[in-house]
Structure 1
Amino acid sequence: MYNFLKTVVKNIIPKSILIKNEDQFRKLLKPLYHGKNNECNICKTKLKKFAELENGQLICPICGSLPRTRRLNMLLESEFLKSNMTFLDFSPSRMLYKKWKNRKDISYFPTDFENEFLSDYHYDITKIDAENGMFDLIVCYHILEHIIEDKKAMSELYRVLKTNGTVLIQTPFKEGEIYEDYNIISPEERLKHFGQDDHVRIYSVSGLENRLKEVGFTTEVRIFDEDNYLGFAKNEVVIVCKK
């Protein structure tokens, strides 16, 4: 039902209007999904079920959050995001952007280089326009697989992080070794080889961890269990990097 309604709405309402009024449109779905079987930990809506996207991911129909977004929200709230922190957030989800933007006890720097996400800054991750050691916390979710000069980006993350600061990193992962081939440049070929038409590689967990260590980070790989009530995915991986 969700995918059908999404297709219908996208076909009849201009994208600019959808983006501007997404919250209001999503509220119309609340009576269809209201229940007690699940809960979104971002918008706090209790649901009879999450909507399932065509790729199998469970999306909150009311706020649009994906499993990785809800897990990130939990990690930030329970462990990593504290008062008086300076927080750099690459390409934040719409709901988390609004949530952290409203907090008055943190200095929040949401950034997106290509204007595809809500943001206030437009940092190039390979040349971040910020002083050394500026940030206590950095979230870099599903960014590095888009970046050809990924080691340069990792070095920049290390540079702008404070001593004892934390970077949370996630990308799509595969078993074995990192797969990258810079001769693959067309969107069609990138989709075929890397799973998305703007990706330039697929990391392995160990491969990404080794590159992060090469620029100076200490790393901890966390693998999380499934949580059906909150709609968290099974075996989700987050690499916690420290300086």
Structure 2
Amino acid sequence: MCKLCIYSMDNLGYIEGIVFNGYLTDINKSNGIEETKCLISLQTEKSKFMKINLGNVDAKLCFKSLKGIAGAKLSDLVAVAPIININNSDKRFIESREIGNSINGYNLALMHWEDFEYLIREVFEKEFSKEGAEVKITQASRDGGVDAIIFDPDPIKGGKYIVQAKRYTNIVGVSAVRDLYGTVMNEGASKGILVTTSDYGRDSYEFAKNKPITLLNGANLLHILEKHGYEARIDLSEAKIYMNS
């Protein structure tokens, strides 16, 4: 069903926008394996789309004006990252809770790991609020290496972001970064974000280079928290003494 039909039937005004991702399943000639690729992705807003006279437009120019994403030639079958790829029926999603008001002056390195994940979701929701993004937290027992998912509808830089939160007192090993990259690929996400209270080694930064991965250390996290009015702190030495006592 075309977007115009869906918008026209929305008499109660429930629909604000629609994202269309076009997928093709075909044989990869380089390895002989059947693969499914997203070849075209387009996001529209109802208020703007309904003003278009589809009978008089040039399809390519209209697609370009709507900031659609595709390869230079669809016949080349070049895969593109979907603008957004949300699964509303994902059973991993659970209800979030706000804990930011209780962390002022608190050492995040001592925070319970589950509370730390809730905090990351909360602050990311504020960080992406201007883009109209949605942030979901997952159930710990079956998250598949995903602590939170950000759905950013921005047609240029948006998409599905996988978030992992590591409340660590030691350096995060490169294996964690590799695992995140694998999860990003498996989830069909646009980017992976790893957040920790500690830091990363040189091998982790080297692995993340030129990949859709962002590494946020303790200093980065405190900066984001302060930006949104949180007054937390991170003291790894204090946390190590407490945990070893």
TM-score when scaled to structure 2?
0.32
What is the TM-score when the length of structure 1 is the normalising length? Answer: 0.32
Q: Which has the larger radius of gyration?
A: 2
